[in-house]
A and B are shown apart, each in its own frame.
Chain A
Amino acid sequence: MIPALERHVIEEWLLERRVTRFFHDEAELLTARRFREWEALLAEDLSYRVPVRETLVPGQGSEHSEEMFHFDENRRTMRMRIDRFEGTAAWAENPPSRCRYFVSNIRAERRPDGLVGVRSELLFTRLRRSLTDYEMLTGERHDVLRDRGESFELVERTVLLDNTTLPTRNLAFFL
């Protein structure tokens, strides 16, 4: 019999292992622009946000705005964005960019409500055509996942960027 304390450690390890695999699979879908399959990972009650960041006087509130965002999406607007990419007139991504998602420092925790809270670090890179300068964004993801047994679905994602002024010409991708 496994002692209770050890069982807790093993469960936590298993959860983080499963969440890590989920993120890696998710990154593969985004990298390969398999947006319809990625969309299937999004919960119906999705909230997807990337707040605008400012440099503020220390002690005068959060630098991540609660009012203005780069993305503030629900499932419906996410579908619109994906419809656009799957259509024939998304010129911003024609030809498509080559994007990479490096997700690390993953810590997962099962919450009292049964959902899984995850914090991770994101390094996002993008190259277009023959350009040699990468567009790059860094930040931390605060995710809430719903455990579906086989896999997870994404209920909430908030990406807290390090960038105030974005070096990206547009955000014709997902973070």
Chain B
Amino acid sequence: MQRTDIDAGLADRLREAEHKIRDGFIPTWIYNDPDVYRLERERLFTRAWVYLAHESELPHDGSFVVREIADTSVLVIRGSDGEIRTFLNQCTHRGAELCQYDRGRLSRFRCNYHAWQFNDRGQLIAVPFDKEVYGGIDRAALGLIPLAQSAVRQGFVFGCMDPGVPGIDEYLGDFLWYLPYATRRSAAGLEVFGPPQRWVVDADWKIASENLIADSYHTPFAHRSIFDVGLVPFSPTDAAPGGSKTGLHIRAGAADLAMIERPAGTYMGYPPEMVDTLRSGLDDAQVRLLDHGSLSGNGTFMNRFHVFPNLSCLNVGGFVDDGRLDPYMSLRQWRPLGPGRMEIISYLLVEADAPREFKERSRRAYLVSFGSSGMAEQDDMENWRTICDAGRSVGGGRVDQYVRMNSHREADLVLADWAGPGTAYASQYFDLPVQGFLLRWLSYLLDGVNADVDLPRRVPT
């Protein structure tokens, strides 16, 4: 994999940023800088494992979707042998884009330029005038170019462009222990409900990621309107520090995740039998956390997670019709398009075997709350955009953002007797996870493959 050079000046700027981030400050320029974007494309998105699709988007032999890793177009296909494969979406002859559709089902892909054809396993199967012009071509050597690594874990299809980095299990690490809380609530597991919404916003993928990683602070303020109109089933007070709707934060492998308290007999509006199904597929330690993991000894509900670099999931609910809490799970990818610019790809995930009516209620709750028209998400876009706008300016880019929330008592927040893997914290009001995310990001930009990220332990006062 190509490694681009990084000049001394840029390295110095990034080292300075690293120093500041450890101290609890983020220089605003990192959210809108051409050099940063270039390094993200060439050093981060080529080496991290990146989400590509959900298995349920590929139900049949020949089912495909075209997705992107940053700016690289990737063809994800289920072959006639049932296996899901990932390829660069490019003809191996002259490099033309092979498939120009977002989704569909094809047994062969024919290049528009010279009609080379590839099957659903990526093999080159037809070359016009093969004998006449090439004297017989080595088809085996000219199949579609696979991503260096790809893997499906609990329905999520990931790809990685670097053959040299550790595999998906090592990458996701401890998070694999928590993922079943989202994926194993029914016998059939999750599926996408329809295609994703996609839209473009002038904001950086990192600021969006940080919001989903650990910004409980903005909820009662940025999203006050959804409390005002009665969409969310609690008050701004519940979302304030110590409120019943904030809970635990866990750093596990490549992910950050949040758990809120789940009073006995409730499950975020999901049918109660779903908890029983989930329980039956978990080991004893996982069940203990599900039923008694909260600080008060009540149960827990994993209401969001983020997988480095750019995959987030939000699983909450809203009061939309009939005063009933309707849950929804939104999986979203923040795809960088350029400095300070991204495409948002937002899916609704539902239990595949849930009744149709449940799925439609879930869709309506999701659409009113999040996604392209969601009443909460609308306001995030504007906030994120202005930060990135400032990041591009001479003055605004130099402003160091203040990320020292609860850094004076970080050590006290760690739950020493936490029964699950990873590190658990007794609050969702702290900035350490954002610092951790950015240090991991910097480790890709600055040097070799990231191992365990050394988190800031104590912030000097």
A-B contact number at CB 8 A? 130
A:98-146 near B, CB below 8 Å: none
Interface size for chain A: under 10, 10 to 19, 20 to 34, or 35 or more residues? 35 or more
- Rounded to whole Å, the gap between the CB of B89 and the closest CB of chain A is 13
> With an 8 A cutoff between CB atoms, is A28 at the interface?
no
* CB contact under 8 A between A65 and B382, given known A55-B100, A76-B320, A170-B377: no
Does the CB pair B196–A80 fall under 8 Å? Answer: no
Contact pick for A90, options B367, B378, B383, B385, CB 8 Å: B378
* CB contact under 8 A between A77 and B320, given known A55-B102, A68-B196, A70-B197: yes
Does the CB pair B343–A165 fall under 8 Å? Answer: yes
- Rounded to whole Å, the gap between the CB of B227 and the closest CB of chain A is 8
Does the CB pair A170–B372 fall under 8 Å? Answer: yes
- Rounded to whole Å, the gap between the CB of A39 and the closest CB of chain B is 14
Q: Report the Cα distance A68→B363, complex, angstroms.
A: 8
Does the CB pair B383–A81 fall under 8 Å? Answer: no
- Rounded to whole Å, the gap between the CB of B68 and the closest CB of chain A is 11
From B66, which residue of chain A is reached at the shortest CB distance?
A55
Does the CB pair B368–A57 fall under 8 Å? Answer: no
Q: Report the Cα distance A159→B103, complex, angstroms.
A: 22
Find chain A residues with CB under 8 A from B371 CB: 70
B:186-207 near A, CB below 8 Å: 193-203
- Rounded to whole Å, the gap between the CB of A50 and the closest CB of chain B is 8
> With an 8 A cutoff between CB atoms, is B5 at the interface?
no
B:132-147 near A, CB below 8 Å: none
Does the CB pair A170–B381 fall under 8 Å? Answer: yes
Most B CB within 10 A of own CB, among A65, A68, A89: A68
> With an 8 A cutoff between CB atoms, is A149 at the interface?
no
From A167, which residue of chain B is reached at the shortest CB distance?
B200
A:42-60 near B, CB below 8 Å: 50, 52, 54-57, 60
Contact pick for A71, options B193, B203, B367, B385, CB 8 Å: B367
> With an 8 A cutoff between CB atoms, is A83 at the interface?
yes
Q: Report the Cα distance A60→B62, complex, angstroms.
A: 13
* CB contact under 8 A between A67 and B193, given known A60-B105, A165-B343, A166-B200: yes
> With an 8 A cutoff between CB atoms, is B222 at the interface?
yes
> With an 8 A cutoff between CB atoms, is A13 at the interface?
no
Q: Report the Cα distance A100→B378, complex, angstroms.
A: 19
From A55, which residue of chain B is reached at the shortest CB distance?
B102
- Rounded to whole Å, the gap between the CB of A76 and the closest CB of chain B is 6
Find chain A residues with CB under 8 A from B198 CB: 52, 164-166
* CB contact under 8 A between A90 and B379, given known A68-B363, A77-B364: yes
Q: Report the Cα distance A55→B100, complex, angstroms.
A: 8
22 contacts across the A-B interface (CB closer than 8 A): A50-B373, A52-B196, A56-B102, A65-B195, A68-B197, A71-B367, A72-B364, A74-B321, A76-B321, A77-B364, A83-B228, A84-B228, A84-B375, A91-B222, A164-B102, A164-B198, A165-B198, A165-B199, A167-B199, A168-B372, A169-B200, A169-B203
Q: With contacts A68-B195, A70-B372 known, what are 11 further pairs, Cβ within 8 A?
A: A52-B198, A54-B103, A65-B195, A67-B363, A68-B348, A69-B363, A69-B367, A72-B364, A81-B375, A165-B343, A170-B372
